Structure formats: C-alpha cells, structure tokens
Amino acid sequence: MNTSTLDARDKSRIETTSTASALMANEAQLSGKPPKGYWHNVGNKLRHDWVALTTMTILGLIVLAAIFAPWITPHDPYQASMLDRLTPPAWASRGTAEYLLGTDELGRDILTRLIYGARVTLLMSISPVLMALMIGGTLGLIAGYAGGKINMCIMRLTDVFYAFPSILLAVAISGAMGAGIVNGVFSLTLIFIPPLARITESVTTKIRNEDYVQAARATGAGTLTIIRVHVLGNVLGPVLIYASSLLSVSIVIASGLSFLGLGVSPPIADWGLMLNALRESIYVAPINAALPGVIIFITCMSFNLLSDSLRSAMDVRL
C-alpha cells in the first residue's frame, strides 16, 4: 500500500516533468513555494484590478456603516425637527455642518437616515438573491442533471415566469399581497428564481455530458456523489457570478417597490422610501430630493463593476 502510492507519486513526477506547467510547479517546489492554484490566480488578478479594489472598498464601507449605524450616526434617525426642515447640504450656501447632507421634509438628518436605510435596503435586496440562488439553483441542478421529462417540466414553468416583465411581476405580487418587507422579499425571490434556474440548468447540462462525469458514472459513483464532487464545483462559479450581477437589479427593484410605497412603511428609513418622501420637496430642495438616489446609484454601480471584475478574473463566460 505504502510503496505503491510512493511509486505512483514518483511515476507522476517523472511523467509531469515533460510538460511545461509541471516544470513550473517543480520549480516552485524547489524554491519552497507551494504551486499556484486557480484561486490564487483569481486573487492575484483582483489585487491588480483597481476597479475591483475601489468597488470592494465602497461596498465594504457601506456594509460596515450599516452594521455599526447606531454608533457612527450623528443624529437619531427618527428625531424630527420642524425648525430644521429641508436644510440644504453642508456645501450649499445655507447649509450647516450639523447636517452634512442636509435634512428631509420632517427635519431628520439625511446622512443618518441613509446609513440606517442601508440596513433595510441591503437586507431587502440581498436576501431575495440568496434565497433565489438556493431555490433556483437547486431546480436548475435537478433539471439539468435529470434531463428528459423532469427538465421539461421545470424549464417550461420558468418560461412562463419569463413572460412577465420582472418589475411588473414584483409590483403585482407585492401589490396583491400588500405592502411590507416580507412580501417584498417574497416577490423579489420569485422573480429571481427563473433566471437562476435557467442559467444553472444550462451549465449543468453542459457538464453532465463531460467525459469525467461519464467516467465517474461508469465506475459506479452515485448520483449525489457525482453532483457533489464533479458537478457542483463546476457549476458554482458561473452561477455565483450571474447571481452577483443580479444584486444591482435587486437593489433597483427593491428600492422601486419602496418608492411606490410597497416596501417598508414610514417612518422606517429606506432608500427608496426616502426618495419617494423627498420627491414632494423637489421644487423647494432639489438637491435633498436627489440625494437618496445617489447612494442607490453608487451601490448598484459598485455591484455591477465588481461582478464584471469577478467575471473576468474567474474567466467565466455566460
């Protein structure tokens, strides 16, 4: 037993020295460094991609601010002050340093409410993508791996959901169920399941027919083992990349639902709801009215650019 594995190792060393990549691996071994793997390469690419670094910093700051909101915000998010209504931001002529980004229509500090709003908005937009990833991913995996009738049933069902413009379906479901975070998350999850199922199905179908899966099946590996060992690892990359590109869509739609009054209800701080409430003040304080949208835009843009960077670093083609 022991000698045979050693033999095999020796043999493989002899065989691999003939190929260029193995030469490099050997060199790395000689110089005491471990051979470079796939994730090492991905990390290396990301480290030299300033777009990825910038967007990760921005998103990291937003998430940290959301988590530590009570400790870093200068004001109380619900403390209204009739005298300070619609104070312009600090850089404007009548602005004060007390309210860095000005105040809203009830005199509440906009910066504070944006930080608290990040909690609700991020929760309401990230959790549907995660849940849809689990449900849609599982459906797609089953459809792609099983093929045949099961595939047809699942995929035709997703086709029907594809027939609805996604914002409209989200609005209709939330509208029929009534406003609220839970209903909003439910409707968003429902609209993200079909695209995720579809992408997982197409990747799984491709991998299912690869030689190594056929070989595994021929050697008697069980279905679950094949999926766990061979399929999942290859499907996960592209599907996660695709899911990450849905995050910005999710933020736009989730804020859109709140903007229509279908998300959280006042006085809870939420980016879309703030945009809606401040819209009435557009003639008096246009800058204040536009501010909540700026943070939505920056967050979406960061998610989009980061997703693009990840895609090229991981060399995934969808």
Partner 1 sequence: MFSYILRRVLYTIPIALGVTVICFLLVQLGPGDPINALLPEEATQEMIDQVKAEYGLDKPLPVQYATWLGHALTGDLGTSIATGRSVSTEIFSALGNTLMLAFGGMLVSFVVGLTLGSIAGSRQGTLSDRVVTGFAVTGVSVPHYWIAIVLVAIFAVGLHWLPAMGMGPRGSTGFALDWAHIQHFVLPIFALSLIPTGIIARSVRGSVSETYGQDFVQTLRAKGMPERQVFVHVARNACSAAIAVMGLQMAELLGGSILIETVFVWPGTGQLLNNAIFMRDLPILQGTILIMALIFVATNLVADILQALIDPRIRR
Residues that bind partner 1 (CB under 8 A): 156-157, 159-161, 163-169, 171-173, 175-178, 248, 252, 255-256, 259-262, 275, 279, 282-283, 286-287, 289-290, 292-293, 296-297, 300-301, 303-305, 308
Other beta carbons within 10 angstroms of residue 122's beta carbon come to 21
Per the omega criterion (within 30 degrees of 0), is the bond before 77 cis? no
- DSSP category for residue 107: S
15 contact partners, CB below 8 Å, separation of at least 6: none
Tokens of 81: 């002050």
State in angstroms the smallest separation of the CB of 187 from partner 1.
Answer: 9
Judged by beta carbon, residue 171 or residue 221, the one nearer partner 1 is 171
Compare residues 22 and 287 and give the one whose CB is closer to partner 1.
287
**Closest distance of CB 173 from partner 1, Å:** 7
Structure tokens, 129:
């993508």
CB of 191 to partner 1, least distance (A): 10
Please say whether the dihedral angle defined by the alpha carbons of residues 261, 267, 273 and 279, taken in this order, is positive or negative. positive
Task: Give whichever of 226 and 245 is closer to partner 1, judged by the CB atom.
Answer: 245
Nearer to partner 1, 42 or 157 (CB): 157
Q: CB neighbours (10 Å) of residue 252?
A: 17
Tell me the closest approach of the beta carbon of residue 276 to partner 1, in angstroms. 9
Dihedral sign computed on CA atoms, order 28, 39, 301, 202: positive
Looking at the Cβ atoms of 230 and 311, the one nearer to partner 1 is: 311
Nearest-approach distance from CB 260 to partner 1, in angstroms: 6
